Amino acid sequence: MTGAALAAELSGFLLKGFFGLMQIMVALQLLFFHPRLPPEETGPLDRTPLLLVGLAGGAFSAFFGVGGGVIAVPLMVILLRLPIHLAVGNSSALIVISSFFGALSYVMHGWGTPHLPPFSFGYVNALVALIVAPFTMLFARLGVRVACRVPHGKLVRIFAIILMLVGFRMIFKTFFS
């Protein structure tokens, strides 16, 4: 809820720019610091790093309006030393919780805002959610099947490259168009 409160105070222009910059920074971390990552852990995890990953993932999820995976997955791979397949699976489970509270926060912070599109409840548009959600659920299963067939290192690089492309596109659209 803190992330949504902060985001509600910023202009959409700045939020898009910050989002693009954050995507690029995460991608660079995954691409160039990957060889320095410690070996993957398979045993029990310490609670403090788990708490930090949860706090950071939730705050960024609500702030940027994303599922949290763009932050939670790299943090789980880097800080918790989880294999990327496990990090992505955990992130997918966390999306349900963080998305609910993030959406609720955006409804509360945007309630009563004038000039929003029809079917909007605060900053959440129900029509968009109803159209996008079925396709997201359908293609999530396909994504899992494909990801399970791709080795860890290659999946990290693919994830980083996609993050970088999204980040550059957001920055370009925000500042140069």
Confidence of residue 16 (pLDDT cuts 50, 70, 90): confident
Helices (H) and strands (E) in the chain, counts: 7, 2
Report the alpha-carbon distance of residue 160 to residue 104 in Å, rounded.
Answer: 29
Confidence of residue 67 (pLDDT cuts 50, 70, 90): low
The pTM score is 0.60
Confidence of residue 41 (pLDDT cuts 50, 70, 90): low
Confidence of residue 18 (pLDDT cuts 50, 70, 90): confident
